[in-house]
């Protein structure tokens, strides 16, 4: 579409889709990377377990911000991004035919990784009326035979729902009673969250829980691919068995740079969140304009909202459908077969050149929702709002 628009002399698509931070990493991390990369003795293969300095830095980070004490030698495994960890965990602990609880809506990679190891994903519902938290009464009534693992993620992607100590306590209790490994994916805990929380802060959680974390979001280092998993020593050893067959260690200067990033103080996160708070307001103005209802207190890198049936973009779609039917084009019924989220996303994309993620890609419970990434600058968000405003005005004029 961008190539076609360029050929027509039209500005390109504004993508408000992927949550890839656009701001710079901590300056100390960049300086350390540059200083280390020119050394002649840092370019060889590295240990699979990561350098001691990095594991110790992760341990200090967890102690400082989460109040969780981890043994850097036996309870931490650095990863080439936490996304790698999702597949490694599935490879290490699942066999063909095992069953895994995955959230709906949720990060699609959970389901993909489960399927890659020939296990069976079993969705559990997250719904707006329950604050996008698991319904533990419903979970207890599910057929849990053969369920070996459960994926969870808070602050939640895509909904922005925040974790609480009560939630983590219930998850740890559920996993312990049913012999289910609870895998908590925790990369957003510093973004627009009152305070970072870890499931491992729950007493005894290490018996049945593990946690993935990352520098991608909280330190603007998504392309650096630096993550970690924290778990009991026997769990870490099993993950390492798989990982050691898949890579040859992380570039040493990257590891040393990550140590510097992990030393960032509270002022780093305050500055980061001040910017995201302004972007969230700007994203909210877009939702207000196009008829999407949303919560005001979510965390993470996205704004998630429910499409109203009276959205002006859907009214415009209806008018376009009538015109198309009159001219022999696609009927309005074709559009109505799609979810509200998909219909609104299509209208914004094709008629205004603004991509807003439709919620159905995260599961059936996201069908009538859409998501805006906060990884766009305020001027970009304003331009998107201006384009959509023109579209809304055109729909009102055509009525």
Comparing CA positions, the residue from 296, 103, 295, 67 lying closest to residue 197 is 67
- 124-182 pLDDT, tens digit each: 999 999 999 999 999 999 999 999 999 999 999 999 999 999 999 999 999 999 999 99
Question: Rounded to an integer, what distance in angstroms lies between the CA atom of residue 234 and that of residue 50?
Answer: 17
Comparing CA positions, the residue from 302, 277, 305 lying closest to residue 290 is 305
Over residues 47-62, mean pLDDT: 97
User: Residue 145, SS3?
Assistant: coil
Asked whether the predicted pLDDT for residue 331 surpasses 50, the reply is no
Structural domains of the chain ordered from first start: 2-23+267-398 (3.90.1150.10), 27-263 (3.40.640.10)
Q: Which residues, in sequence order, are CB contacts of 376 under 8 Å at separation 6+? A: 14, 15, 16, 22, 279, 384
- Mean pLDDT over the full length of the chain: 94
Q: For the chain, how are helix, strand and coil distributed in percent, rounded to 5?
A: 50, 15, 35
- Tokens found for residue 268: 């780093």
- 302-328 pLDDT, tens digit each: 999 999 999 999 986 655 543 443 333
Q: Identify the pLDDT of residue 229.
A: 98
Q: Which residues, in sequence order, are CB contacts of 292 under 8 Å at separation 6+? A: 305, 306, 307, 308, 311, 344, 370
Per-residue pLDDT band at 397 (split at 50, 70, 90): confident
- Tokens found for residue 6: 């360029």
**Tokens 């495994």 identify what position?**
77
Question: Rounded to an integer, what distance in angstroms lies between the CA atom of residue 244 and that of residue 47?
Answer: 9
In sequence order, the β-bridge partners of residue 152 are: 184
Radius of gyration of the chain (CA): 23
- Tokens found for residue 236: 């870490």
DSSP code for 220: T
- Tokens found for residue 202: 């729950």
Which of the two residues, 28 and 326, has the higher pLDDT score? Answer: 28
- 246-263 pLDDT, tens digit each: 988 999 999 999 999 999
Per-residue pLDDT band at 287 (split at 50, 70, 90): very high
Q: Identify the pLDDT of residue 237.
A: 98
- Tokens found for residue 269: 């996160």
- 98-123 pLDDT, tens digit each: 999 999 999 999 999 999 999 999 99
Asked whether the predicted pLDDT for residue 335 surpasses 80, the reply is no
Q: Could you give the angle at the alpha carbon of 319 between the alpha carbons of 316 and 323, nearest 5°?
A: 135
Q: Considering the entire predicted model, what is its pTM?
A: 0.93
**Tokens 């973004």 identify what position?**
191
Q: Identify the pLDDT of residue 399.
A: 58
Over residues 72-78, mean pLDDT: 98
Q: Which residues, in sequence order, are CB contacts of 274 under 8 Å at separation 6+? A: none
CA separation, residue 93 to residues 46, 181, 231, 241, 313 (Å): 25, 9, 13, 11, 46
């Amino acid at each position: 579409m961008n190539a076609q628009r360029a050929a027509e002399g039209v500005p390109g698509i504004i993508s408000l889709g992927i949550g890839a931070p656009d701001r710079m990493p901590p300056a100390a991390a960049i300086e350390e990377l540059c200083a280390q990369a020119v050394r002649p003795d840092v370019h060889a293969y590295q240990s699979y377990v990561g350098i001691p300095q990095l594991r110790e830095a992760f341990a200090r980070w967890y102690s400082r911000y989460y109040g969780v004490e981890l043994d850097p030698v036996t309870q931490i495994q650095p990863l080439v991004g936490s996304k790698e960890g999702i597949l490694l965990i599935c490879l290490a602990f699942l066999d063909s035919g095992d069953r895994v609880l995955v959230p709906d809506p949720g990060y699609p990679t959970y389901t993909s990784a489960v399927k890659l190891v020939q296990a069976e994903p079993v969705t559990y519902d997250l719904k707006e009326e329950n604050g996008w938290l698991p319904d533990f009464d419903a979970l207890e009534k599910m057929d849990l035979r053969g369920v070996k693992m459960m994926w969870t993620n808070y602050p939640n992607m895509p909904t922005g729902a925040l974790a609480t100590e009560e939630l983590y306590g219930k998850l740890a209790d559920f996993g312990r009673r049913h012999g289910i490994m609870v895998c908590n994916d925790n990369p957003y805990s510093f973004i627009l969250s009152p305070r970072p929380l870890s499931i491992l802060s729950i007493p005894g959680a290490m018996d049945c829980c593990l946690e993935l974390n990352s520098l991608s979001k909280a330190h603007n280092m998504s392309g650096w691919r630096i993550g970690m998993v924290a778990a009991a020593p026997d769990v870490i050893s099993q993950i390492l068995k798989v990982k050691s067959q898949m890579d040859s260690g992380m570039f040493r200067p990257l590891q040393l740079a990550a140590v510097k990033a992990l030393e960032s103080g509270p002022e780093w996160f305050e500055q980061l969140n001040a910017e995201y708070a302004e972007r969230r307001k700007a994203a909210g103005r877009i939702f207000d304009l196009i008829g999407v209802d949303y919560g005001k207190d979510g965390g993470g890198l996205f704004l998630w909202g429910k499409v109203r049936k009276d959205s002006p973009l859907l009214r415009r779609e209806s008018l376009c459908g009538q015109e198309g039917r009159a001219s022999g084009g696609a009927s309005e019924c074709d559009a109505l077969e799609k979810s509200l989220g998909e219909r609104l996303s299509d209208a914004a994309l094709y008629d205004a050149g603004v991509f807003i993620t439709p919620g159905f890609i995260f599961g059936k419970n996201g069908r009538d929702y859409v998501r805006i990434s906060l990884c766009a600058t305020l001027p970009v968000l304003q331009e998107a709002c201006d384009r959509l405003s023109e579209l809304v005005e055109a729909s009102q004029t055509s009525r």
